[in-house]
Amino acid sequence: MRNAHFKTTLLAAASLLAVANVASAAEVSIYTTREPGLIQPLLDSFSSSTGIKVNTVFLKDGLAERVASEGESSPADILMAVDAGNLVDLVDKGVTQPVESAVLSEAIPAQLRDANGHWFGLSMRARVLYTAKDLDLDAVTYEDLSDPKWKGKVCIRSGQHPYNTALIADYIAHYGAEETEKWLTGLKGNLARKAAGGDREGAKDILGGVCDIAVANSYYVGLMRSGSGGDEQKQWADAIKVILPTFKDDGTHVNISGAAVAKHAPNKDEAVKLLEYLVSDEAQKIYAEANYEYPVKAGVAADPLIAELGDLKIDSKPLTEIVANRKAASELVDKVGFDN
């Protein structure tokens, strides 16, 4: 009798051990072009709350090419990148698969995710205007940037940079290529210097009196004003006011960081769990604090340095439509000699 009880106890213990082993074996693998310092806190938080191990491969570029070359043997479960164009490229290269998730659909506005569930926006940055503090300007539209009254007053980086190509593509989505060419020609005529440099140089040049207005991304405001970029950048940020421009009949142009589930994901269920975690209130708050990006989920507060810029009304054009205009936008940049 005692032997039978001992065997039963051993079997129960073995079963528990097997369950524990299965649980500890749960994992998900990410290939990402995002910086480790930004994404790691989110992944650590996910593992802590779910017990699912996250394996991460950080890449500078070549994300789609690497996954495509690995084929069916790829260990990648999630592909994470910045810029909607890069996410669409993943779909075009056939390395993603569709996902149906009520959690993702409810949390992410429709224009910030693929209509067929191949990719999902997880955080946003807005294309805003830095302006001189003494400039009498509290509201402006993107259309206004071509107004001759701003001749010699505007700074911006290369028109071929993805940040600006996306904005120009959005303009095409609103008005078509012909009107966009006129707008781009007018904007070129208003430049204070050659279209070049980075977004933060716009703030630097406003402080230096080179220009009164600079087109730049919102999250750099947080990076500069927080002091994380050093005292010099904080001085640049202290010299500017920030305006959230809009299209005349719409909202502010935004781009995203986002992710997709890999076509041959070995751990699809865990991958979906991670995506759903990344749009939770907890993760969206970490996104907002880590890189001063806007949460995609309504009701989650942006970092105070970004929230003080004002209420963000995002443009209604689907990112897929904007991305489809990228080639035309790039061609217009060359046609009007925007970067010359």
219 is in an annotated binding site: yes
Query: Which residue has 């202290």 as its token pair?
Result: 238
The secondary structure element, H or E, covering residue 77 is none
Distances (CA, A) of 3 to 7, 8, 9, 11, 16: 6, 9, 10, 12, 20
Q: For 177, what's the count of Cα atoms within 13 Å in the CB-facing half-sphere?
A: 12
Query: Which residue has 């769990």 as its token pair?
Result: 273
Cα 256 → chain centroid: 2
In sequence order, what DSSP letters do the residues of 232-283 get, joined into one string?
Answer: HHHHHHHTEEEE--B-TTS-B-EEEEEEEEETT-TTHHHHHHHHHHHTSHHH
SS3 label, residue 176 = coil
CA 277/CA 271 separation, integer angstroms: 10
CA 98/CA 87 separation, integer angstroms: 13
SS3 label, residue 194 = coil
31 is in an annotated binding site: no
CA 232/CA 165 separation, integer angstroms: 29
- Terminal Cα distance for the chain, rounded: 92
Buried residues in 57-73 as b, exposed as e (16+ CB within 10 A): eebeeebbebbeeeeee
Q: Please, what sign has the CA dihedral across residues 83, 84, 89, 95?
A: positive
**Residues annotated in the binding site for Fe cation, as ranges?**
219-220
Show binding-site residues. Answer: 219-220
